[in-house]
Amino acid sequence: MIRVQVDGAQPWVSGEALRRLMSQLEAAQGRLWDPKEDEGKKGWLTWPEEDHDGLWQEVEATATEIRSRADVAVVVGIGGSYLGARAMTAMLRPGSEISGSRGFPVVFAGYQLSEGELLRLMDDLDDREPALVVVSKSGSTLEPGAVFHLLRTNLERRYGHQARERIYVVTDPERGALREYAVEKGYRRLPIPPDIGGRYSVLTPVGMLPAAVAGIDIRRVLTGARRGWEECRRLDLWANPAILYAAARHLLYLQGWMVEALVTYEPRMADFSRWWQQLFGESQGKDGRGLFPAFLHYTTDLHSMGQFVQQGRRLLFETVLDVDGSSAPQPANGEPPDPRAVIPDDVDAASAYLAGKRLDDLQEAAMAAVMEAHREGGVPQLWIEAKGPGEELVGELVFFFEAACALGGYLLGVDPYDQPGVEAYKRKLKARLLSGPVAGA
């Protein structure tokens, strides 16, 4: 269940302001759900209601194969090709600062160009039996392309011809250089539907294969996505959280607010914030428009950015993503909590008022205290309450944010599906490399 609250964003998001926006919201919602509008780019919209059982069986079988052949999966991708997978694994298989994550290890590469980082990863992989999962829609992005070929060569040095049994490719089913290469080499392939763009692709094999490898029940993720689909189809401002969220942030934008900070309180949600940042930044940041999407991890960042939020230049509003549960096991009714999380009595004088409280209590009190303090500081607050079991919740959240993002793009008058500004850098980089010297020359 996702519920958007706008009480904390008064007077900017008033009932009157929302009513005045109503005809635009109806037009945006109509455009979003009209199959003829933006045809060929909205595969994500109908995806949760379609039957892809054959595909999911293949994804699950592939994941089982990877887990049986390898002891670590290295997912090679950048942008939309890794952010969603990382968000899901961090949220649903969280570890600690020592162990990284629980369950079958899934790590990521190819999302940057650090040579030192890659060589260290290769050193660590020497002690493991890795599989590679390469994710690239176009099959032509530089970072994952370069890193894939380096990791592949390293596997071939070690496993010879059998390296091919450790390499899996998720790419366009019909075109692209990576697809051709995979066919030629005989790698197992999974498709990215051509009508679903990178940043809207997490619920396809792009996100689902890494999730399944990590041990996540992807059928439950899809159940949640279907629930999100049902909620977001409604043409009712108050029953459709995507419309309300899109409307509220649009009203704040129109009234001069420039930065939207997605606020989370659980470390396992940090990567979800990065997925959200790409979705909104790339979909709406164009033609000189758009909110700057930032993220803050509380209470951590209250001790770094809290001062600015409370008293700095007034340009930022907060969107609190209040996800159910602390990821700590919750005691049954009437049972005591884990004693390891209850502050003992023999504490120092400054901490005496904490004795007998559990950490979850402190977190909850902090959320309420921050809401109050920042409201007094004149910071508008949207609140997204998201309840339910994790696997379903992440599917529901993904669809909700995608729908809100596309709606918001229409309200803003931009194309939520292109990214011409990214291409500028890609073109310049390629031109430089085509004319530059080679290593050691």
Buried b / exposed e along 378-405 (16+ C-beta atoms within 10 A)? ebbbbbbebebebbbbbbbbbbbbbbbb
Evaluate whether 231 touches 397 at the Cβ level (below 8 Å).
no
Going by C-alpha positions, the residue among 81, 100, 45 that lies closest to residue 282 is 81
Verify binding: residue 369, a copy of itself, rule CB under 8 A. Answer: yes
Q: Which of 167, 178, 213, 411: binder of a copy of itself (CB under 8 A)?
A: 178
Which amino acid is it at 234?
A: R
Whole-number Å distance between alpha carbons of 15 and 262: 23
Q: Which of 5, 24, 223, 363: binder of a copy of itself (CB under 8 A)?
A: 363
Q: Which of residues 275-294 bind a copy of itself (CB under 8 A)?
A: 277-278, 281-282, 284-294
Q: Which of 30, 173, 186, 312: binder of a copy of itself (CB under 8 A)?
A: 312
Residue with tokens 């992440």: 394
Of 232 and 412, the one with the shorter C-beta distance to a copy of itself is 412
Residue with tokens 């199959």: 35
**Cβ partners under 8 Å of residue 94, min gap 6:** 101, 102, 267, 268, 327
Q: Which of residues 46-85 bind a copy of itself (CB under 8 A)?
A: 72, 78-80, 83
Q: Which of 181, 245, 399, 400: binder of a copy of itself (CB under 8 A)?
A: 181
Q: To the nearest 10°, report the CA torsion of 241, 55, 82, 106.
A: 120
Cβ at position 233, least distance to a copy of itself in Å: 28
Q: Which of 84, 131, 143, 319: binder of a copy of itself (CB under 8 A)?
A: 143
CA 353 to chain centre: 38
Q: List, in sequence order, every residue forming a beta bridge with 107; answer none if it has no partner.
A: 74
Going by C-alpha positions, the residue among 205, 164, 206, 158 that lies closest to residue 187 is 164
Evaluate whether 201 touches 195 at the Cβ level (below 8 Å).
no
Q: Which of residues 253-272 bind a copy of itself (CB under 8 A)?
A: 258-259, 265-268
Cα separations in angstroms, 237 against 4, 21, 134, 240, 244: 10, 11, 40, 5, 6
Verify binding: residue 249, a copy of itself, rule CB under 8 A. Answer: no
Evaluate whether 263 touches 320 at the Cβ level (below 8 Å).
yes
Evaluate whether 222 touches 397 at the Cβ level (below 8 Å).
no
Q: Which of 33, 310, 322, 389: binder of a copy of itself (CB under 8 A)?
A: 310
Of 54 and 436, the one with the shorter C-beta distance to a copy of itself is 436
Cβ at position 364, least distance to a copy of itself in Å: 9
Structure tokens at 217: 């029940």
Verify binding: residue 322, a copy of itself, rule CB under 8 A. Answer: no
Evaluate whether 192 touches 201 at the Cβ level (below 8 Å).
yes
Of 20 and 120, the one with the shorter C-beta distance to a copy of itself is 120
Of 55 and 305, the one with the shorter C-beta distance to a copy of itself is 305
Q: How many residues bind a copy of itself (CB under 8 A)?
A: 148
Structure tokens at 116: 């030192």
Please identify, among the stretches 19-27, 41-49, 225-233, 433-441, the one whose residues bind a copy of itself according to the rule CB under 8 A.
Answer: 433-441
Verify binding: residue 326, a copy of itself, rule CB under 8 A. Answer: yes
Cβ at position 9, least distance to a copy of itself in Å: 19
Evaluate whether 22 touches 237 at the Cβ level (below 8 Å).
yes
Whole-number Å distance between alpha carbons of 177 and 171: 10
Please identify, among the stretches 20-28, 35-43, 392-400, 422-430, the one whose residues bind a copy of itself according to the rule CB under 8 A.
Answer: 422-430
CA 107 to chain centre: 15
- The catalytic site residues sit at 282, 426
Please identify, among the stretches 16-24, 36-44, 229-237, 348-356, the one whose residues bind a copy of itself according to the rule CB under 8 A.
Answer: 348-356
Residues in the chain: 441
Cβ at position 87, least distance to a copy of itself in Å: 12
Q: Which of residues 147-176 bind a copy of itself (CB under 8 A)?
A: 147, 149-150, 153-154, 176
Please identify, among the stretches 5-13, 225-233, 403-411, 425-433, the one whose residues bind a copy of itself according to the rule CB under 8 A.
Answer: 425-433
Of 121 and 133, the one with the shorter C-beta distance to a copy of itself is 121
Of 11 and 350, the one with the shorter C-beta distance to a copy of itself is 350
Of 223 and 299, the one with the shorter C-beta distance to a copy of itself is 299
Q: Which of 49, 308, 324, 387: binder of a copy of itself (CB under 8 A)?
A: 308
Which amino acid is it at 405?
A: C
Q: Which of residues 78-137 bind a copy of itself (CB under 8 A)?
A: 78-80, 83, 94-100, 102, 105, 107-109, 111-125, 128
Of 79 and 241, the one with the shorter C-beta distance to a copy of itself is 79
